[in-house]
Amino acid sequence: MSRKELVCLTIKELTDAVGGGLTPRMVRHYHQLGLLPQPKRSPSNYRLYTQQDVIRLQRIVALKQQGFQLNHIRHILEMEPETDTNVHLMGQLQQQYRVVIQQITQLRQTASALEGLLGRDRHCQIMQAEVLAQLKLLEVETQAGLGGLTQLWSGLDAEVHTHSEAFSESLQRLLPDLSQRSEVEQHLISQLVLACGDVSLVSFVRVSQQAIAASRAALKLGCEIFVDIPTVVAALDQTRLAHLGCQVTTLIDNPHVTTVAEAEMEFWQHQEWREKLSQVSNGCVLVIGYAPSVLLEVCVAIDQQKIQPALVIGMPIGFSHAPAAKRQLMQQDVSYITIEGTLGGGLLAATALNALVESLIEKPDCHCYKTYTQ
């Protein structure tokens, strides 16, 4: 037995060693579920843990933080490599994924109903108040009640024909508290939400500490803008970029590439695009909205100090490579703006740059971002 395995820790010392918000109560619960073997006891009947228990609990905490359910964590930790249990486990995880998607769908429907009421500007508020009052009296158990509900929504929706939508008013009611972020970053996040119509995006946007300052300094100097494919270029605010003297260069300069699958394959099959990436100018802004392999290559080039961009806007699409590329980006010594997970796309990437450019031109002397912790 190794020296590490002989180390005896109390349950409190164990939770302190593991961290991650683990509590003694959770440890006892893991014992009950079979996630953690029962430990040896001291002569005073105290549980005594080894370094192996610390390692196992750290794995449990890490998997739980990634969203895995406890019963699947047990299977993952106990699974022997290269056995048929892999197939069984994958089936279980697929079932869990379907359940989660169903829950997300139900929550999305609830969010849509709330947005339908809360996301109303002042022109709709009289009808909104009437709908809220009638909802309390609605008898949805009868067919007539259901018809009344449809009529209420129709009455509320009728107001949308009388005026244009006031997006800022709607966002004020729906966005979470962004008071700890600078004015420039608040504008950036608001524009991203408007670009995709999903307020939950706020929870996944990641802006590095120096990203706003770095972007403004680079754009003021008329830096080069490097974009992964022509579709992203089409969504950029060319007029404002020209005003700043920023030239836009397309990395995968093939007009036939319009989808993420095409962009990914094109980058893999043609060495010229990789060579072109290695030649980007120092102090440029890189905007990646489609191919995750482009962002992965960017991270490698930055890590090897082959390129030194001022800012990387990394928002590729994908279900495995894209989340990995974004995680690698956030580990690099570079300013970045990204969206964790699978969310992303060319429109969001272009919107991020457009929001930065707009803020710079409209408020060139703004220093609000220097007084906030990003």
In a domain, 165, yes or no: no
For 113-132, how does the pLDDT look when each residue is reduced to its tens digit (9 = 90+)?
Answer: 777 767 666 666 666 666 66
> Has residue 276 got a pLDDT over 70?
yes
Last residue of a domain, one of 78, 94, 124: 78
The amino acid sitting at 62 is: A
Distance CA 285, CA 59 (A): 37
Q: How many domains does the chain have?
A: 2
What is the rounded average pLDDT of the residues 153-177?
77
Structure-token pair, residue 110 = 């609830």
In a domain, 169, yes or no: no
Last residue of a domain, one of 78, 93, 111: 78
The amino acid sitting at 162 is: T
> Do both 201 and 311 map to the same domain?
yes
In a domain, 31, yes or no: yes
In a domain, 158, yes or no: no
> Do both 72 and 180 map to the same domain?
no
In degrees, rounded to 5, the angle at the alpha carbon of residue 251 between the alpha carbons of residues 248 and 253 is 95
Structure-token pair, residue 333 = 């010594």
> Do both 327 and 214 map to the same domain?
yes
In a domain, 199, yes or no: yes
Instruction: Using pLDDT thresholds of 50, 70 and 90, give the confidence band for residue 71.
Output: confident
Here the CATH number for the domain that contains residue 36 is 1.10.1660.10
26-30, 71-75, 182-186, 369-373: segment of lowest average pLDDT: 369-373
Last residue of a domain, one of 12, 46, 78: 78
In a domain, 188, yes or no: yes
In a domain, 122, yes or no: no
Here the CATH number for the domain that contains residue 272 is 3.40.50.10230
CA-wise closest residue to 356 among 342, 373, 369, 343 = 369
Predicted confidence at residue 145, as pLDDT, reads 47
In a domain, 87, yes or no: no
Boundaries of domain holding 269: 175-370
Return the H-helix or E-strand segment holding 311: strand 311-314
